Structure 1
Amino acid sequence: MNVHPGFNPYNRGWFPQVFSIIDGQKVGVTIHEIDDQLDHGPIIAQRECAIESWDSSGSVYAKLMDVERELVLEHFDAIRDGSYMAIPPAIEGNLNLKRDFERLRQLDLNERGTFGQFLNRLRALTHDDFRNAWFVDASGRKVFVRVVLEPELRPDR
């Protein structure tokens, strides 16, 4: 049995919220049986979690931890008694390994893309005080990057 902070079969493996921010795939929590592949076994329960435009990896992960607690508590008795039903994933999905995350960390200041793509990458690499994203400046010094996004407060809501 595994509680995975990802919405299997999307972005199985390491840091699923990072890859969901980048590729726009679903994020959530999955309780699943363990088989011979990473985050792949039959699904016992899962719940999707929304990613807002201002979310970072850290804020999405915090949401996922709340959902994990809720989902485990809701399904604890069935898991303990073995009375749950597990369903194989409908598709294979994709798998991200730690090396895939490591490849994202160094920012190439000459890379071409849209601002939206770069912003999503920075959001995905911003996780609390972790120094994930970085570039090398003209002097050869490594410079770490994080973003802070704050939604407008709306008094009418």
Structure 2
Amino acid sequence: MKKILLLAAVAAIALVSCKPTEKNYREAYDVAVGKREKVSESLAADGLISEDAPRAKVVDGDTLYFVNEILRVDDGVSPLKQLNVAVAVFKMNTNARAGALMLSEKGYDARAARALEDKWYIIAGSFDSMDDTRAFIARFRKENPSYPYIGLGGNPVIIRR
């Protein structure tokens, strides 16, 4: 009988002393956050880059976004030049053509261009020099401050051919 009482007393003390506290939860949370930050820093340091996302590059103080794509235009107008400013991307050509038509009505040399992966870009301008491209982007942003840049993360993208 004494053994049972002694065992019950030890078990009761053990159960009460193992109770988690707010301090223990806080320490575990801080350790988990520290590990997560360490992992995200190491990933950033390794230079992982999404293949789909445009790559940012600073050119004379301006942050520009670049994508390398093979584009095809079937509108019978002059061919695209080396640097093309895309202001939206769609999966359906109808949307891209409608957007290009709206920009054309505003006076831009806009057209819809198809990429190999069934993506349709609205090309608002096509240029041979980076200076002309940068000037066009600055003018487009000034004239269209609330343009949504659908599918492009809020910025026009330069597509190199």
Instruction: Please report the TM-score for the alignment, with normalisation by the length of structure 2.
Output: 0.24
| Greater percentage in strand | 2
| Greater percentage in helix | 2
Q: Looking at CA atoms only, which structure, 1 or 2, has the larger radius of gyration? A: 2
